[in-house]
Chain A
Amino acid sequence: MLWIMLIATMCLMNLYSAIYPSKPLSTPVYIKQLYFFIMGMGIILAIISVDYRIFMSWNYPIYGAVCLLLLYALLLGKSQAGTQRWINLGFFNLQPSEPAKLMLVITLASFYSRKDTGKGFTLKELGVPILLTAVPFLLILKQPDLGTALMLGFIFVSMTLFVKLKWQTLSILLGVCSSMIPIAWKFLLKPYQRQRIETFLNPESDPLRTGYHIMQSKIAVGSGLTFGKGYLQGTQGHLDFLPERHTDFAFSIWAEEFGFFGSVIFLSVYFFLVLWGLNSAVSSRDKFGTLLCIGVVSLLFWQAFINLAMVMGMLPVVGMPLPLFSYGGSSLMTSMAGIGILISVRMRRYQVPS
């Protein structure tokens, strides 16, 4: 809990800097984010107050509800910059693809905990979880939101690997996946998504257009040097060179202002959060709890890793917020709900299932 407070403080501080000097328009994002944090706290409290095992049998209703939301967003949702991601809830725009991640974690944990024989899964046995993943995956890909869709894939792969596969299954899957890449490149990706990957591979080729985000972010991070430019002193951010700096590129601001030391401290904070999550997984008395924790940890870890790698120019630009750090209510509350689950599992580690 304290750890979350620490991250929240870092986040708000950074957001304040991201939009500094503030424009006197509407509520500044750091205030909004503060509200979201408070709401997130409420969600955590709600989650830890119920036994997480209840999700085990509620998984399909949750699954169905989220899929419907995704469908709704796709068909009737608010369009923004050519994507259909949002459902207007009045006080804020819900991005159903965010809770979908958590939903998948619960669903898969439930499925695997019921089916796990300890001998490893065959390809046939994996049919159902693949299908369960594929439905929201395709719905989100259609929005289109490549980053989140990929995240679902990462969660699936991480959790499935964790429950153990048969060696043949693994090799078959690997083979299929690798053969899928060129097909996906051609048919699944939109031109702008393809271009992002292309510019990632060669960012200096056209620095003012598509490679711009990566270049400017690398400049921001790199120019932080050892100790950074100082809080509120970052020039890349404040002079608008850095795009999306309160959402996906929030870490660039941090790295620019606090330098290598600040960034390593930042990474350590996240690292310990993830280790703590893994520890919760081992502490659980039942498989469902363990798998839940593994799912949440993979959710947090992969998001953080992909976001940071992207910001530092190691991966192409995909819309992927840094959990707990980037501005955005849906993402923040999903992450906090995930942490709520971790706490819930950990809290009940001495409760022997009846």
Chain B
Amino acid sequence: MPKIRRPLEQINKIDEEELLILKKRVDIATAIIIIFVAFLIARLWFLQIHKGEEYGRLSENNRIRIQETQAPRGNILDRHGRIIITNRPYFNLVWTKEDAPDPDYVIKRLSRILNEDISTLLSRIREASGRPRYVPILLKEDIDWKTLVYIENHHFELPGVRVEAVPSRDYLYQNLASHLIGYLGEISKEELKKKEYSNYQGGDPIGKMGIEKVFEKELRGEKGHRYLEVDVHGFEQQELEQQDPLPGRDLQLTLDIDIQRTAEKALEGLGGAVVAMEVNTGNLLALASSPPLQLEEFVGGISSKAWKKLLENPLHPLFDKTIQGQYPPGSTYKIVTALAGLAEGVITPETILYCPGSMRLHGRRYGCWKASGHGAVSLTQALAESCDVYFYQVGLKVGVDKLATYAESLGLGQKTGIILENEKEGLVPTSDWKKRRKNESWQEGETLSVSIGQGFNLTTPLQVCRMTAAIVNGGKILRPHIIAEIKDPDGSTIQKTEPEVVGEAFGNAQQRNSIIKGLVAAVNNRHGTSGNAKLANITVGGKTGTAQVVRMKKFKSMPEAELPRKYRDHAWFTCFAPAENPEIAITVLIEHGGHGGSAAAPIAKKILEEYFKDRLKQDVEP
């Protein structure tokens, strides 16, 4: 090919002059190379020395995955140590986006393994779209054992897929004490922002209501951590370090499962509340609000449909009626009026007042529930038969403001201090209150209403129960307790609840005894209103109440049973037993239940029978 066959060598040969030029150029080339090498070394220095720490950290982040292990949440026990709520592992299938090079393939396989639509899985992935790529996404909760084994065996074919054992709540008694215990949910974005939840992560369970919420700190325990070395596909290579989780503390409640269950069963289908309290300690044996919450619905977040249904239910299941329900106390309030009358010297236990069936005041007629009248009645009789006119007269003489101080001394119109959220105060009306609130002066007629527990008065079932206890325990106003003990997982007691006296009822023992006598008569006398709560061998004392609901004129004259439910009266019954040495106070409220004696007292009786079951048997057998 080369066509020029000239003396190549002549051109090719390098003479002295050319050699010098050549050397110069090579020097330039050397200089250029040195500059470039210097560049490389400078870059090396920058990466390895200057920024080395940072890259070192990045490389550690690359290879080390911190896996959190949830601590088992503390158990919730009843007063006898029986477990109400514990944990059971849910095997959840999670998927880490960062570790999955080929998500489509994995999702397709999973949909076959789990027998679930691809779209369901994809929507779960979409929901978690805001989170960082390394946070596992929950694809399916509570997979069965067979699926679990299959996935563990095929994990090499399913990069990024993992099964996590997550301790979840196991409700051994379903919805027992649901309002009180509450439920867990995923921590919300707002909660995550709070300082007290700084050691939580998105997706962590947290108590949303009841003692699960109030005692979140005790119940939660501390998460454990596993430091794993993983390769680029997310497969574990080895475990570098492990910190075991610290289980949460156990809560022993004051509740008795049997009594609570009896109460809830008795309330089934009704809207109402039962409070049972040990009169000397303030410990609650039952705190039931009906209808109960379906706790299972709340696991994993309640659906908006279920929530709407709860909101629209006429029995208001969302509402804890024991501490949030405020109702006019009805005739149970006659206990207050009686105490005020005795202590103020308006009456003595022997005072006889006349009931003609109604009373006139300033030209208006105020009727007794018994239109034919009770005739001449003593205090005992008045309480037993719930004579309205008797207490109109007592209340009128005491005056509304004096009466209010007695109500307050019995713990009404104020929070009881139970360690639950959203407790209501109720209302004890005074003339001042009316002036402030309505800018009207007090009418004496209103005093009559107040003295029999109608009118402006509002009480919660828990308040009424505590008041009942105070009458029979020597006048002590106790703080109601639901937690008996907080225990460490090893069984040692961290904190034990002691009775807490927060106030003292006005009046003396003699005056209280007069009232007790009346309440015992109410249950046991022939004409007593509370005969439905009578037990064979245990003396019960109690007071019924029928709280009128504001209703339109056209319903005024209708018989109770024919009224639409929402216009029917609330039925109350509050009682204690045994009368000789009282142990327990029980208050029952049935919303729109009608008469206390017929609607509420039988429920209280069932609870009393449960509480005294051993003694009742003993007495029958021999």
Contacts and interface: CB of A to CB of B under 8 A. Distances in A.
Interface of A: 56-57, 60-61, 113-114, 116, 118, 162, 164, 208, 216, 218-226, 235-236, 239-241, 255-256, 259-260, 263-264, 267, 271, 274-275, 278, 281-282, 284-288, 290, 294, 297, 301, 305, 308-309, 312-314, 353-354
B561 interface: no
Closest 3 CB pairs of A and B: A222-B55, A223-B59, A240-B232
Contacts of A208: 98, 133
Given A222-B55, A235-B63, A271 B48 contact: no
B43 A314 contact: yes
A187 B501 CA distance: 89
A297 B29 CA distance: 10
B11 A116 contact: yes
Given A162-B29, A236-B62, A312-B40, A260 B48 contact: yes
Interface stretch (B2-10, B135-143, B579-587): B2-10
A275 B62 CA distance: 39
Contacts of A219: 55, 58-59, 62
Contact of A221 (B44, B54, B133, B229): B44
Given A162-B29, A235-B63, A354 B48 contact: no
Contact of A312 (B1, B18, B43): B43
Contact of B12 (A222, A241, A259, A286): A286
A225 B57 CA distance: 11
A286 B8 CA distance: 11
A287 B8 contact: no
17 contacts: A61-B1, A114-B4, A118-B21, A162-B29, A219-B55, A219-B58, A222-B59, A235-B59, A239-B63, A259-B48, A260-B44, A260-B45, A260-B49, A275-B30, A278-B33, A290-B22, A294-B29
B41 A267 contact: yes
A259 B49 CA distance: 9
Given A219-B58, A223-B56, A312-B40, A287 B12 contact: yes
B33 A274 contact: yes
Contacts of B551: none
B237 interface: yes
B207 to A, nearest CB: 37
A251 B233 CA distance: 23
Given A61-B1, A235-B229, A256-B59, 8 more contacts: A223-B59, A235-B60, A255-B44, A264-B44, A281-B26, A282-B22, A312-B47, A353-B9
B230 interface: yes
Contacts, number: 150
Contact of B13 (A164, A281, A286, A297): A286
A164 B133 CA distance: 56
B18 A118 contact: yes
Given A281-B26, A282-B26, A284-B14, A312 B232 contact: no
Interface of B: 1-2, 4, 8-9, 11-14, 18-19, 21-23, 25-26, 29-30, 33, 36-37, 39-41, 43-45, 47-49, 51-56, 58-60, 62-63, 98, 133, 229-233, 237
B326 to A, nearest CB: 58
B229 A239 contact: yes
Nearest to B21: A118
B240 to A, nearest CB: 11
Nearest to B51: A222
A113 B22 CA distance: 13
Nearest to A301: B33
B14 A285 contact: yes
A256 B45 CA distance: 13
Contact of B23 (A240, A282, A285, A288): A282
Contacts of B25: 162, 164
Contact of B8 (A56, A118, A282): A56
Contacts of B29: 162, 278, 294, 297
B14 A305 contact: no
A274 B43 CA distance: 20
A223 B55 contact: yes
A278 B26 contact: yes
A309 B43 contact: yes
Contacts of B49: 225-226, 260
Contacts of A56: 8, 12
A286 B12 CA distance: 5
Contacts of B11: 113-114, 116, 287
Nearest to B18: A118
Contact of B62 (A235, A264, A290): A235
A60 B11 CA distance: 19
Given A57-B2, A305-B36, A224 B62 contact: no
A149 B237 CA distance: 41
A258 to B, nearest CB: 10
Contacts of A240: 231-233
A354 B12 CA distance: 11
Nearest to B10: A353
A239 B231 contact: yes
A210 B13 CA distance: 51
A113 B12 contact: yes
Nearest to B43: A312
Given A260-B48, A284-B14, A267 B37 contact: yes
Nearest to B34: A271
B59 A236 contact: yes
A321 to B, nearest CB: 17
A224 B14 contact: no
A297 B25 CA distance: 14
B46 to A, nearest CB: 9
Contacts of A218: 47, 55
Contacts of B30: 275, 278
Contacts of B18: 118, 287
Contacts of A255: 44, 48
B23 A222 contact: no
Given A56-B8, A264-B41, A308-B40, A222 B48 contact: yes
A201 B202 CA distance: 34
A162 B26 CA distance: 8
Contacts of A241: 59, 62-63, 231-232
A337 B135 CA distance: 52
A286 B231 CA distance: 56
A276 B30 CA distance: 10
Contacts of A275: 30, 33
Given A208-B133, A240-B232, A275-B30, A353 B12 contact: yes
Contacts of A225: 48-49, 52-53, 56
Contacts of A114: 2, 4, 8, 11-12
Nearest to B11: A114
A227 to B, nearest CB: 10
Contacts of B48: 221-222, 224-226, 255, 259-260, 263
Contact of A223 (B2, B12, B58): B58
A290 B25 CA distance: 11
A113 B44 CA distance: 39
B274 to A, nearest CB: 59
Contacts of B133: 208
A122 to B, nearest CB: 18
Contacts of A313: 47
A333 to B, nearest CB: 24
Contacts of B36: 301, 305
Contacts of A116: 11
A82 B18 CA distance: 48
A260 B49 CA distance: 7
Contacts of B13: 285-287, 353
A281 B19 CA distance: 10
A226 B229 CA distance: 24
A222 B47 contact: yes
A160 to B, nearest CB: 12
B232 A239 contact: yes
Nearest to A220: B59
B44 A263 contact: yes
Nearest to A63: B1
